[in-house]
Amino acid sequence: EIVLTQSPATLSLSPGERATLSCRASQNVNNYLAWYQQKPGQPPRLLIYDASNRATGIPARFSGSGSGTDFTLTISSLEPEDFAVYYCQQRSNLWTFGQGTKVEIK
Amino acid sequence: QVQLVQSGAEVKKPGASVKVSCKASGYTFTGYYIHWLRQAPGQGPEWMGWINSNSGGTSYAQKFQGRVTLTRGTSINTAYMDLSRLTSDDTAVYYCARYTGNYYAFDIWGQGTLVTVSS
């Protein structure tokens, strides 16, 4: 099983700041990595697929990068609605998710 | 609009089974696979298996082999997840999700169904 390790566990930032979230895979997943946003009581929402492609309707402040084992989700300037938990997910070998990074208001 | 609507919360005793439904609307049901995932409190989602909504073919995560059964009813655009021999470790929110070939990702999710296993 491919294990995805996300860091940090919690990120405390203010609106308008830049958020940088990391996801490391236990083995090469090529670019088969997606990012999701989840708010309390809601299902995950697809943001990024194949490492760097925004899903339909996702604002340009969200961007993804990386390949192989190291990936990054960047939110260029945090809006109030961006404070949530973010998960990475790989599809190289079945499907697994990371444990999440919580972006909270500082 | 495109959506998946799941059945309501369930409370089950250890050893029992649970069946969760997932009704699709706003798109061609047989054109997409439906996956099932679950999420325990404070954890990331965990993949359980998928069903080909057209053929009915299935694939299950090894962890759930022999305990989970995925089925569908094409005339009513509904997928089902049946999990047997429940234990307290199965307490979680269960989701169905559409898997799209456009993104090879889960683009539409059901609202989730809380299954609580307690004696």
- Tens of pLDDT, residue by residue over A70-99, are 999 999 999 999 999 999 999 999 999 999
Q: Do B44 and A100 touch (CB under 8 A)?
A: yes
* CA closest to A92 among chain B residues: B104
Contacts of residue A87 in chain B, CB cutoff 8 Å? 44-45
| Span between the terminal Cα atoms of chain A, in Å | 35
pLDDT in tens, B3-35: 999 999 999 999 999 999 999 999 999 999 999
Q: Which two tokens stand for residue B59?
A: 């694939």
Let me know the angle formed at the C-alpha of A45 by A44 and A46, rounded to the nearest 5 degrees: 120
A34 vs A52: CA distance, rounded Å: 8
Nearest one of B96, B98, B40, B104 to A34, comparing CA atoms: B104
B6 vs A40: CA distance, rounded Å: 18
Parts of chain B with a pLDDT under 50: none
Q: What are phi and psi of B76, to 5 degrees?
A: -120, 15
Q: What is the pLDDT of residue A38?
A: 98
B31 vs B27: CA distance, rounded Å: 8
- Tell me the three-class secondary structure of B7-74, residue by residue: CCCEEECCCCCEEEEEEEECCCHHHCEEEEEEECCCCCCEEEEEEECCCCCEEECHHHCCCEEEEEEH
Contacts of residue A100 in chain B, CB cutoff 8 Å? 43-44
Q: What is the pLDDT of residue B103?
A: 87
Residues 6+ apart with CB under 8 A from A12: A104, A105, A106
CB of A85 closer than 8 Å to CB of A106: no
Peptide bond into B41 cis (omega under 30): no
Q: Do B35 and A95 touch (CB under 8 A)?
A: yes
pLDDT in tens, A26-66: 999 999 999 999 999 999 999 999 999 999 999 999 999 99
Q: Distance from A67 to chain B by nearest Cα, in Å?
A: 16
User: Among B47, B97, B107, whose Cβ lies nearest the Cβ of A94?
Assistant: B47
Q: What is the pLDDT of residue B115?
A: 98
Q: Do B45 and A98 touch (CB under 8 A)?
A: no
Q: Parallel, antiparallel, or unpaired: how do β-strands B18-25 and A62-67 relate?
A: unpaired
